[in-house]
Chain A
Amino acid sequence: MNSPLRRLSVVVLAMFVLLMGNATWVQYGPPAGALNDDPRNVRTIYREFGRDRGPIVVAGDQVAYSEPVDDPFGFQRIYTDGPLYAPVTGHFSIVFQSTGVERYANDVLNGTDASLLLQRIQQLFTGGSQQGGSVELTIDPAAQQAAWDLLGDQRGAVVALDPRTGAILAMVSKPSYDPSVLAGHSTSAVNEAWQELLEDPDDPMVNRTIAGDLYPPGSTFKLVDLAMILESGEYTPDSEVPAPTEYTPPGTSTPIRNPGGAVCGNGTTATLTEALRVSCNTPFSSLAVQMGADALQEQAEAFGFNQDLEVPMRVTPSVFPSDLNDPQLAQSAIGQFDVRATPMQMAMVSAAIANDGVLMTPYLVATERGPNLDVTGTAEPTVFSRPISAATASMMTEMMVNVVDNGTGYPAQIAGVEVAGKTGTAQSGIEGVAPSAWFTAFAPADDPQVAVAVVVEEGGDLGNEATGSRVAAPIAAGVIQAVLGS
């Protein structure tokens, strides 16, 4: 009987070899990755939540952090000033995909980022559980709060940049929401809150600064026209340009009028400075048609239109359409037709002008730190593009200062600070829907420290009476003051 016994022991050995091979395959082979990524795998969420996720820090204060709790997840995400910072932090949810910095800096926050490898190895030896790193933002809390307060109950958005670096100083979107309600550990409660937010007609979860429905930029787009005109070298701020009360582009019978049908300059011509000061439409439309769609598109794209950008959240590209005919181009030149922009985009236009024509890439994360607070990454400001020359920038600065000092931008005046700005009142094109009020500016004009763009949807509190001047400019002034004051 020994011979079959030996064979039996070989069979037993073979069975175990099979088991071991299969266990290796399942646990450490190709299927393991797919199983770990399976959306039905609750462990992935537990793993994310079970980690001591690092905080999101604004000026030394944690605006989002994780606190140990006694439930299966182990940690509860806390948002100290949820709605104020929601467009920045986004939310971290067990049920829905995370957004904002929570999503885009996830690797650092949960401690899996490559830059934290060394610390993970240390933890392996010291036996500590994996801790996340912290993320420090560029946000200036004073500017953020000022923008939040000044927007009040109006729907809209504010972006403030440091034109010298591209650092995002303020990113406010209203209405907002509290990410805490989505960070709960009760799936049903989170689902309910999510559904409520989704059904809210004001779209509180949309970050209007970079990812909302894009807005027609209206007259603020004239800064792009002006850049193209001055860059051509054929014009100076004092050049007299055609400024009829009505301009009918070739190929259409629909004329373009100045705001309120007003007379611009002497009724036939105006200087560029004057045209910008009172925001005439006809000179910009006619010059754009004269110089061609390609030239304007090129200039717009140099400022960032039609370009991808991540800050680290993805910024919806602002749109300047291609293949425009003359009537469309004439409309586009005054920020209408299919031209669409994010507040981020218009802040970038101001920032480029402020920074001697050099557009710095906007960014939100200043510093990344490991769990032990060692700095593991610092933002390096980079140049996004050079849309205009320093000379053009200087001319435009002067003209924009004139807008605030003597023109439509007067509500943005700040005592003792030279503000350069441009208003915009973008028609919705829909009957009964009030225009969007725009203002973009930077200050101080001689040493720019902040560039800002404000949009207030559907006229805000003033409705059809709204203009960029009355609704948006005061908000911009407040944000500029907050930045300069701090």
Chain B
Amino acid sequence: MATVAPTRPRAGRNAEIGLLLLALVVGVSAYAIVGLNLSGELPPDLWRHLALLAGMAVVLHLALRWRAPDADPVMLPLVIGLNGLGLAMIARIDVSLESRGLTAGFAGRQLTWTIIGVALAVATIVLLRDHRMLRRFTFSAMVAGLVLLCLPMVPVIGREINGARLWIGVGGMSFQPAELAKILLAVFFAGYFVTRRDALTLAGTTMLGLRFPRLSDLFPIVLIWAISVGVLVVERDLGTSLLFFGLFVSMLYVATEKVSWIVIGLLLVAVGVVFAYLTFPYVAARFDVWLHALDPEIFNRDPGGSGQLVRGLFGLAAGGLMGTGLGQGHPDLVPYANSDFIVASLGEELGLTGLLAILIMYLVVAQRGLRAAIGVRDGFGKLLAAGFAFVIAFQVFVVVGGVTRLIPLTGLTMPFMAAGGSSLVANWIIVAIMLRVSDAARRPAPSGAGSVVGNETAAIALADLDRHAARTSSPRSLFGWDHVTDAETSSSSAVAHEDDTFASAPTEHIGTRSDLAAIADDRLTSPAHDTGETEAGAGTSRARLDGPGGSERGTSERVVGLARDVPGTADRDPDPGATGVIDPDEERETSR
């Protein structure tokens, strides 16, 4: 028999409205303060700015209500807030650039790109009814991703900016295709790993206590990785290269649960770093800049000096605890103050306090994404959400770490904040996909899902379940983990032992592996009209329980169904009689 999670997470669409208002207040008042502090009056286009941002928030919110009503309510407001703050800072730096007679007008362009990004995000939410649809494009995504990566090397459309050949130019617009390739490669990695995970996990040789994968399983992955990184080395962009690598290793680790991948990954990084340091003078220069930033010799070196980094540090130090206030610092003294170094600009004018708040916003976005990955039932969705969440967190780490001299500086943009259309658009699409996955993750178990269907006992149980859900609301932590205390777990497993009529104890949590196995056994021997298919499914789940990754299962997660997942597209109209097609790759022990 199966057990069920009784509590339906609140969708939180109404809470989202409140948070969106807060995000708009932050973004728009920052914009207003910039005007007040720089010219003494409110920006003339303040109302237009407010209307556009609010309009985008409303459209996104309505799209979610319509097509993803259970999506995470926190992620969107955070992203709107970050985007709004970024717009305000870019507008602020525009003013300084103008007063120094330099090219400005970044704010208008960024606003246009925001609208494009939001439009694409809305389209993604509306058109992508189920994230598993993306799995169909696993290999086309790979091809498209690699093509995008290679585009800047095409003679006519490729553009080289500051020594990195990372842009394509069409007409007057330039675009960084690597940002979109990021999405496509994540889709490919997710699709590929989820298909091959058993091979990647189970086969291989053990060495030094770690199980290393077979070379034949490894080969295609390493090939793709080598191509993407190779392309980036040719295009001379260290940051994107690092980002792809992080994405690749993290997704591989999640897919295989094998620490050996981390070891291999770190070794590859080490080899890559040493190789790049010895081979490329610009990489060696980056390391010099990092280690000896304040040396006058390195400071004044041109090109490849530490001037930009150190000026950014000057800005951060000038900001101190509370910051100079928007419009009252001198962030424009740092080259690329509105893109690569927007973190230094924010740190200067909003202070350590503001910078920490912004970092926490990113942290919550990433953790919410990972939460969706944990919550969603299918392996593909897990990998995809995890990849996207990690790639945002990792990008923030590389950017902020670089600007604050924690790690060598690389040329990445701060997601949602830095001036630059490609990054903004790509990250908005990423958020849309994460929202889509979180909708699937948080969607209440459709009646019938997660238990044996088509039998009267179950029907009664489900009625109980719904009643229970109506009066229970689970406490939710900052990152949205659902905590189940030990006491709760053990008491409920005790109930499970006492009452073999599993379905009549709808508030079950499975305490231990043996409980699960017992229930699985119970279910296998159940007189209900289990089909062979179901048996096979239960058998698979049993095998998986004994598998290498099963040890922690059931200790803290609410265990839902053993037998099957109902395909997401059919979630809304459960058919009690249908057993559904069981995807052998999909998780069975997933939590809510």
Contact = CB atoms under 8 A, between A and B. Distances in A.
Interface in A71-128: 71-72
Contact of A46 (B254, B330, B371, B405): B330
A234 B231 CA distance: 101
Contact of A43 (B318, B389, B405, B553): B318
Interface stretch (B130-138, B348-356, B421-429): B348-356
Interface in B331-374: 333, 347, 351-352, 355-356, 359-360, 362-363, 366-367, 370-371, 373-374
A16 B397 contact: yes
Contact of B367 (A2, A13, A18, A36): A13
A318 B501 CA distance: 106
B20 interface: no
Contact of B370 (A8, A38, A42): A8
Contacts of A70: 99
Nearest to B329: A43
Contacts of B100: 72
Given A5-B370, A5-B373, A6-B374, A38 B352 contact: no
B250 interface: yes
B400 A19 contact: yes
Contacts of B362: 16
B139 interface: no
Interface in A19-34: 19-20, 22-24, 26-28, 31-33
Contact of A1 (B254, B310, B318): B254
Majority-rule SS of A interface residues: helix
Interface in B546-562: 549, 551-553, 557
B316 A23 contact: yes
Nearest to B100: A72
Interface string B373-404: 11000010011001001100110110011001
A486 interface: no
A379 B333 CA distance: 41
B406 A18 contact: yes
Given A1-B379, A43-B314, A23 B257 contact: no
B253 interface: yes
A15 interface: yes
A8 B390 contact: yes
Contact of B359 (A16, A38, A40, A47): A16
Contacts of B549: 1, 3
A4 B254 contact: yes
A195 interface: no
Contacts of A13: 363, 367
Given A8-B390, A27-B355, A46-B330, A22 B406 contact: yes
Nearest to B401: A19
B330 A5 contact: no
A1 B552 contact: no
Interface in B436-480: 479
Contacts of B314: 35-36, 38, 40-43
A129 to B, nearest CB: 7
A71 B393 contact: no
Nearest to B362: A16
Interface string B10-30: 000000000000000000000
Given A8-B370, A28-B352, A16 B363 contact: yes
A38 B100 CA distance: 24
A213 B294 CA distance: 39
Contacts of B355: 23, 27
A12 interface: yes
B7 to A, nearest CB: 18
Nearest to B348: A43
Contacts of A6: 374
B520 interface: no
B250 A8 contact: yes
Given A12-B366, A13-B367, A36-B317, A3 B257 contact: yes
Nearest to B387: A8
A9 interface: yes
B355 to A, nearest CB: 5
B433 interface: no
B293 to A, nearest CB: 10
B313 A26 contact: yes
Contacts of B396: 16, 19
B255 interface: yes
Contacts of B590: 2
Contacts of B352: 23-24, 27-28
Given A2-B557, A19-B400, A20-B356, A72 B96 contact: yes
14 contacts: A5-B382, A8-B390, A12-B393, A16-B360, A20-B359, A26-B404, A32-B316, A32-B320, A33-B317, A35-B316, A38-B294, A40-B310, A47-B318, A72-B100
8 tightest A-B contacts by CB?
A35-B317, A32-B317, A27-B352, A22-B406, A41-B314, A9-B370, A12-B393, A15-B397
Interface of B: 96, 99-100, 250, 253-255, 257, 294, 299, 310, 313-321, 328-330, 333, 347, 351-352, 355-356, 359-360, 362-363, 366-367, 370-371, 373-374, 379, 382-383, 386, 389-390, 393-394, 396-397, 400-401, 404-406, 479, 549, 551-553, 557, 587, 590-591
Interface of A: 1-6, 8-9, 12-13, 15-16, 18-20, 22-24, 26-28, 31-33, 35-36, 38, 40-43, 46-47, 50, 70-72, 129
Given A9-B370, A22-B406, A35-B316, 8 more contacts: A5-B373, A9-B479, A16-B359, A23-B404, A24-B356, A27-B320, A36-B317, A46-B330
